Chain A
Amino acid sequence: MLRFTLLRILNYVLLAFVATSITYLLAASLMHPQEVLYPPIATKPVPPATAHAYLEARNINPDTPLFARYARWLGDLLHGNLGVTSGTDRAMTPVLDVLAARVPLSLRLVVLGTLLGVVLGIVVGMISAVRRNSIGDVAATGSSFVLLSLPTVVVVLLVQQINQIVINTTGFGLPPTGATNPALPDGSTEQLVYHLQALVMPTIVLALFGMASYSRYMKVTTLDVLGSDYLRTARAKGLTRQLAMRRHGLRMALIPMGQYFAFAVGAAFTGSLFVELMFNWHGIGKFTVHALNSADVNGTAGVVLYAAILTLLSATFADILQGILDPRIR
C-alpha cells in the first residue's frame, strides 16, 4: 500500500513538473514582454544598458536562448523562487508574493463552493435515485440538465441580475461586486460582514455547478447500488430501507465518486476564474487573465504550478478517500 501510494504521488509530481515546464516554455516562446521597451508602449527611447538590465532582472531577455532562460527559472524554482512578474506593466513583484496574497481568496471560494456543491449533490442525487420518478426527482434531474447546459458566465449573470432586481425594488441586496469594501477599514467587523455577504453570490454559483454535476453522478451510482444483491440481503435481514441504505448502500455508492472529485477541483479552478472575473475578486483567476494579457511569463508559469499542485493534492486526496471507503483497495 505504501509503495503504491508513493509511486502514485511520484507519478503525480512528475506530471505536475512536466506540465509546468511545458507551459513555461510555451509562454516564454509565444509572449513578447520586451514590447514594453518599444513604441507604442514606450513613449521615448530606452537606453540599451537600461533595456538590458530591465530584461535581465526579469529573465525575459529574448537574446538569451530559450533553454538558458528555462534553466535559470528552474534553478530559481529549486530555491523556492518563482521569479518576478515580467509583463508589460513594469511592476516587479515576486510571483510568490502575488500568489501568497491571492491564493487564500481563491481557495476560500473554490473550497467553499466545491464542498457545498459536493454535499448537496450527494444528498440530491441519492434522494432522486431512491425516490425515482417522483416530482422531486424529475425537477432535480431536469434542472441539473439545464444548468449543465449553461456556461458559467450566464449563471453568474442570472444571479447578478436577480440581485440587481432585488436591489432596485427593495433597496437592499448583496454587494454586487468586489470581495471587500475599500471604504471600510481593514479588519473591522463591518468589513468582515461585508466580506461574508460578498461571498454569498460567488459561492452560490460554484455550488450550483458542483451540485448539478455531482447529483447526476450520484444518481447513477446509487441506482447501481439499489439493484445490488447485498442491499436486497440487508433488506431481507429486516433492516429498514433507510438503515440499509445508510449502512451498506451509501458507502458503496460513494466509492466511484472519489475519482470524479479529483477532476472537480480542476473544473472549480476554471469556474472560479469566471466567477472572480465577473465579481471583481482579486484572486488567482483574475491574476491569470492579467498575466496572460500583459505577457507575464513568470506569472503564467506560477499560476500553472499552483493549478497543477491543486490538481495533484485533490487527486491524492481522492485516492486516500477511495482507500478509506473501499477496503478492497487497502
Chain B
Amino acid sequence: MTTPGDLRGVTEAAATAEPLVADDPVPELDASTEAALQAGIDPAERIASMSRTELLRRRFLRNPMAWAGMVIFGILVVLAIVMPMIYPHEPYSLDLRADVNTPTADHWFGLTNNGWDTFSRCMHGLRVSLVIGIGTAVLTSIIAILVGTVAGYVGGKGKLGALVDSGLVNLINLFLVIPSLLLLMLFGPILQQASWLWMIPLLAIFSWMLTARVLRAMTQQLVRTEYVEAARFMGVNPVVIVVRHIIPNIASWIIIDTTLGVSAAVLGETGLSFIGFGIERPQVSLGTVLSNYELANPWTWVPAAVILAALVISINLMGEALRDALDPTSGSSRV
C-alpha cells in the first residue's frame, strides 16, 4: 500500500507540489526546490524522479517511532561516551568515606553493598553493551548472508549444489538444536581471559541461524527470476550475480534484521553476564551490574534495568520504523 505522499503522477504532483513541500520534514529540500525552480526545472519532475534512497529516508523520518528511537539511542550513545570521562568514580573503585548507599550528590545512583558506584558501572556497562551489540549484529548478518545466499544459490544447481545446500541446511538445524546458551557458557570464561571483545564473535556464531534460513528462502526465489537467469546465461560469475543481483534485493530485509539483531545481542550478552559467564572483571556490562542486585536496595538494579530497556526499546523502535519505510505493505501485518 503506497501512501498518497509517496507516488504521484507528474501532473498531480505539479498541482500539489506546494503542500507537499510545506509538510516536508526535511528543511533543506525547500532550498533545493527553490534552486530547481530558478534553474528552470519543473519541481514536479524532481519529485517524480525521487530516488529510492530519498523516498526511504523521507518515509523513515516521517515516522514518529523512528524519531523516538533515534533520540533515545542518540542520548544513550552520548552518555556512554561522555559520562565515563567526566564522572569521578570508576566501576570497581571503592569510596571508603561514603556512609549511605542510596543516591547522593557524589554517587548519583548510590552504591552497592560492596561499595561500587552504580552510576559509573551503568555508564561503563552501557559502553560495553553498545559495542558488543552493534559488533555482534553486523558479524551475525555477515555470516547469515554468506551461508544463506550460498545455500540458496547452489541449491538448484545440479547434484553437487543440492548436496552443499542440504549440508548447509543441516548445519543450520544443528546449530538450532544445540542449546546455544550452554556452549556460550562453555566458551565465555575461556575467551574472556584473552579479551572481552571475543564476546562478539562468540555471540555471533550462535545467532545467525534463523536469519540464514530466511535469506536462503529469499535467494531461492530470486534465483528463479528472469534477470538472474539472463545474467547466468551471459556467463556472469556466480559471485558477481549474488553480489550484484541477489544481495541488493534482500538488502532491505538484512538492514532490518541487523538493526533488530543489535537488541537481541544486547539481551543475550546481558543474560550471559548476569549468570557470570560473560563480561567479567575488570570490564563491566549492564548484565554484570544487574547481577549485583539487592532487593533491599532497588537503586542497585533499577537504573541498569531502565537503561537497558531504553536501549533495547529505542533500537527496536528504529527497526520497526525501518521495516515500515522499506515495506509499506507490511502495514497490514505489522505487530
B183 to chain A minimum Cβ distance, whole angstroms, is: 7
B19 CB-CB contact with A under 8 Å: no
| A residues 139-178 touching B (CB-CB < 8 Å) | 141, 145-146, 149-154, 157-158, 160-161, 164, 176
A64 CB-CB contact with B under 8 Å: no
Quick one: given A151-B274, A153-B271, are A273 and B181 in contact (CB under 8 Å)? yes
**The one of A149, A152, A158, A289 that contacts B313, using a Cβ cutoff of 8 Å:** A149
The residue in chain A whose Cβ has the minimal distance to the Cβ of B298 is: A161
B308 CB-CB contact with A under 8 Å: yes
What residues of chain B lie closer than 8 Å to A176, measured between beta carbons?
Answer: 295
A19 touches B274 (CB 8 A): no
Q: Bound state CA distance, A40 and B176, in angstroms? A: 39
Q: Bound state CA distance, A269 and B271, in angstroms? A: 13
Q: Bound state CA distance, A286 and B80, in angstroms? A: 34
What residues of chain A lie closer than 8 Å to B50, measured between beta carbons?
Answer: none
B335 touches A151 (CB 8 A): no
B275 touches A274 (CB 8 A): yes
A115 to chain B minimum Cβ distance, whole angstroms, is: 21
A27 touches B333 (CB 8 A): no
Q: Bound state CA distance, A30 and B187, in angstroms? A: 8
What residues of chain A lie closer than 8 Å to B291, measured between beta carbons?
Answer: 153
**The one of B270, B287, B309 that contacts A146, using a Cβ cutoff of 8 Å:** B309
Q: Contact flags (1/0) for A257-269 with B, using CB distance below 8 Å?
A: 0000001001001
A311 CB-CB contact with B under 8 Å: yes
**The one of B176, B179, B298 that contacts A270, using a Cβ cutoff of 8 Å:** B179
Q: Bound state CA distance, A274 and B277, in angstroms? A: 13
A270 touches B181 (CB 8 A): yes
B215 CB-CB contact with A under 8 Å: no
A26 touches B295 (CB 8 A): no
A294 CB-CB contact with B under 8 Å: no
What residues of chain A lie closer than 8 Å to B190, measured between beta carbons?
Answer: 30
What residues of chain B lie closer than 8 Å to A263, measured between beta carbons?
Answer: 176
Q: Bound state CA distance, A19 and B206, in angstroms? A: 13
Secondary structure call for the A interface = helix
Q: Bound state CA distance, A23 and B206, in angstroms? A: 14
A220 touches B181 (CB 8 A): no
Secondary structure call for the B interface = helix
Quick one: given A266-B179, A270-B179, are A154 and B290 in contact (CB under 8 Å)? yes
B308 touches A26 (CB 8 A): no
Q: Contact flags (1/0) for B251-285 with A, using CB distance below 8 Å?
A: 00000000000010001001100111100000000
A164 touches B295 (CB 8 A): yes
The residue in chain A whose Cβ has the minimal distance to the Cβ of B320 is: A145
> Which of A150, A154, A292 gathers the greatest number of chain B CB atoms within 10 Å?
A154
A61 CB-CB contact with B under 8 Å: no
A326 to chain B minimum Cβ distance, whole angstroms, is: 19
Q: How many residues of A contact B (CB 8 A)?
A: 49
B183 touches A26 (CB 8 A): yes
B198 CB-CB contact with A under 8 Å: no
B101 CB-CB contact with A under 8 Å: no
Quick one: given A16-B177, A18-B174, A220-B333, are A160 and B295 in contact (CB under 8 Å)? yes
A227 touches B182 (CB 8 A): no
B293 touches A15 (CB 8 A): no
Q: Bound state CA distance, A223 and B332, in angstroms? A: 7
**The one of B182, B275, B293, B298 that contacts A23, using a Cβ cutoff of 8 Å:** B182
| B residues 160-199 touching A (CB-CB < 8 Å) | 170, 173-174, 176-179, 181-183, 185-187, 190
Q: Contact flags (1/0) for B311-335 with A, using CB distance below 8 Å?
A: 0110010000000000000001101
Q: Bound state CA distance, A26 and B182, in angstroms? A: 11
B271 touches A292 (CB 8 A): no
What residues of chain B lie closer than 8 Å to A308, measured between beta carbons?
Answer: 177-179
Quick one: given A30-B187, A220-B335, A300-B182, are A151 and B177 in contact (CB under 8 Å)? no
Quick one: given A30-B186, A224-B333, are A307 and B179 in contact (CB under 8 Å)? yes
What residues of chain B lie closer than 8 Å to A145, measured between beta carbons?
Answer: 313, 316
B179 touches A269 (CB 8 A): yes
B134 CB-CB contact with A under 8 Å: no
A223 touches B295 (CB 8 A): no
The residue in chain A whose Cβ has the minimal distance to the Cβ of B290 is: A153
Quick one: given A307-B182, A308-B177, are A157 and B313 in contact (CB under 8 Å)? no
Q: Bound state CA distance, A31 and B295, in angstroms? A: 34
The residue in chain A whose Cβ has the minimal distance to the Cβ of B305 is: A154
What residues of chain B lie closer than 8 Å to A244, measured between beta carbons?
Answer: none
A58 CB-CB contact with B under 8 Å: no
A151 touches B182 (CB 8 A): no
B301 CB-CB contact with A under 8 Å: yes
A127 to chain B minimum Cβ distance, whole angstroms, is: 14
A318 CB-CB contact with B under 8 Å: no
A223 touches B333 (CB 8 A): yes
A122 CB-CB contact with B under 8 Å: no
B308 touches A151 (CB 8 A): yes
A22 CB-CB contact with B under 8 Å: yes
The residue in chain A whose Cβ has the minimal distance to the Cβ of B301 is: A157
What residues of chain A lie closer than 8 Å to B301, measured between beta carbons?
Answer: 154, 157
> Which of B177, B263, B313 gathers the greatest number of chain A CB atoms within 10 Å?
B177
B186 touches A300 (CB 8 A): yes
B186 touches A26 (CB 8 A): yes
B332 touches A227 (CB 8 A): yes
What residues of chain A lie closer than 8 Å to B335, measured between beta carbons?
Answer: 141, 216, 219-220
Known interface pairs A30-B190, A149-B313; 18 further A-B residue pairs with C-beta atoms within 8 A, sorted by A's residue number: A15-B174, A15-B177, A23-B182, A26-B186, A27-B186, A30-B187, A31-B186, A151-B308, A154-B308, A157-B290, A263-B176, A269-B179, A270-B179, A273-B275, A288-B182, A292-B185, A292-B277, A300-B186
The 4 closest A-B pairs by CB, nearest first: A149-B312, A307-B179, A154-B305, A19-B178
